[in-house]
């Protein structure tokens, strides 16, 4: 969300109005921030992983992520990261260690 700039208060005539308007804009804008607005992250969506399959994803960050959140897991299968050992500045990997295929979405972050 784009915020209006807070105007410089020159006189006290409209100072409270300007401060009130600025606080209202900030409250409205900050309340509408998404997860990705708050964290350096990238998301992979609707990726199918067969049982036992390891998949690599392009790392869209300029650092190696240290965490991931599974935001969708259609079959509830266990997903592993192999201790982040295969993660680099260019790719990250996840493995389906469950017994059947699943469709996942994941968020990788600092």
Q: Provide Rg for the chain, Cα atoms.
A: 21
pLDDT at 25: 79
Find the length of the chain.
110
Q: What are the mean pLDDT values of the chain's consecutive 10-residue runs (110 residues total)?
A: 61 75 79 79 94 93 93 90 83 93 94
pLDDT at 39: 85
Q: CA-based diameter of the chain, in Å? A: 70
Report all structural domains of the chain as residue ranges with CATH numbers, in order of start: 7-34 (no CATH), 39-109 (2.60.320)
| Full-model pTM | 0.71
């Amino acid at each position: 969300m784009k915020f209006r700039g807070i105007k410089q208060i020159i006189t006290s005539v409209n100072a409270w109005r300007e401060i009130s308007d600025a606080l209202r804009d900030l409250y409205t804008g900050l309340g509408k921030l998404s997860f990705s607005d708050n964290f350096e992250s990238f998301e992979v969506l609707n990726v199918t992983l067969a049982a036992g399959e390891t998949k690599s994803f392009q790392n869209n960050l300029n650092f190696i992520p240290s965490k991931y959140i599974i935001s969708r897991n259609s079959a509830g299968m266990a997903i592993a990261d192999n201790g982040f050992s295969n993660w680099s500045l260019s790719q990250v990997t996840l493995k389906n260690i469950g017994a059947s295929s699943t469709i996942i979405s994941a968020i990788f972050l600092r």
